[in-house]
Amino acid sequence: MRVLLIDDHALFRVGLLELLERRGIEVVDAVGDCDVGLQLARDCGPDVVLLDLRMPVNSGIEVLKRMRAEGIDRRIAMLTTSTEEQDVIASLQAGANGYLLKDMEPDDLVAALDDIVAGKTVVATELTGVLARAVQQDRATPERDPAFSDLTPREMEILCHLAAGQSNKAIARELGISDGTVKLHVKAILRKLEVHSRVEAAVMAVERGLCARE
């Protein structure tokens, strides 16, 4: 995997570069200048661009829009501290393939990058509820989808935990089962609902009112 990092905070850039390289990920470059980052995205063929959301001259979303307008067909993920709903939605609408948080565990970040490079849209687990609420505000709640009738009671239970934004480890602890068992159930849920990510499955469940909400 080849990663390009665009972030105006020098200490963060250096730290993340070292973290990724220790995990065997090639960092094409780590730059703070948006124009330089755009040129590198065009010319160096990174598999994924990690883009800071808040930068002093151009915001990450502005840079993202420029990339898409110029036909730069790279996988792009926002990497930020912002959990604001409008930032999540604006990023995805502008063409981001991921919305990740800077306080993620390193292994979770690497796993998210793997998924993004594989073609999935990934939103940090903590933001699943934010995304679901935003979708609800934009759409009328549809009737229950027949695809949900194919889920087993256990799969439906796990789906509701996904809709609450819980990680596999948290679900496993709460249900008293192994992480591996949770992963198998999640894989079955995605297959039955014909979606590619846990975020999509969670949003569908919340949209259709399938899970009780506090």
Domain with residue 106: its CATH number is: 3.40.50.2300
Q: Residue 163 sits in a domain of what CATH number?
A: 1.10.10.10
Give the end of a domain, one of 123, 153, 176: 123
56 belongs to a structural domain: yes
Q: Is the pLDDT of residue 128 over 90?
A: no
Give the end of a domain, one of 79, 99, 123: 123
194 belongs to a structural domain: yes
Report how far residue 180's alpha carbon sits from residue 185's, in angstroms, rounded to the nearest whole number: 9
Per the structure, the complete domain to which residue 177 belongs is given by: 132-207
Are the beta carbons of 129 and 83 closer than 8 angstroms? no
| Alpha carbon distances (Å) from 110 to 16, 24, 48, 152, 173 | 11, 10, 12, 31, 23
Q: Is the pLDDT of residue 194 over 90?
A: no
Q: Is the pLDDT of residue 143 over 70?
A: no
Are the beta carbons of 199 and 159 closer than 8 angstroms? no
Report how far residue 159's alpha carbon sits from residue 139's, in angstroms, rounded to the nearest whole number: 21
The whole-model pTM stands at 0.64
Name the band, by pLDDT with cuts 50, 70 and 90, for residue 145.
Answer: low
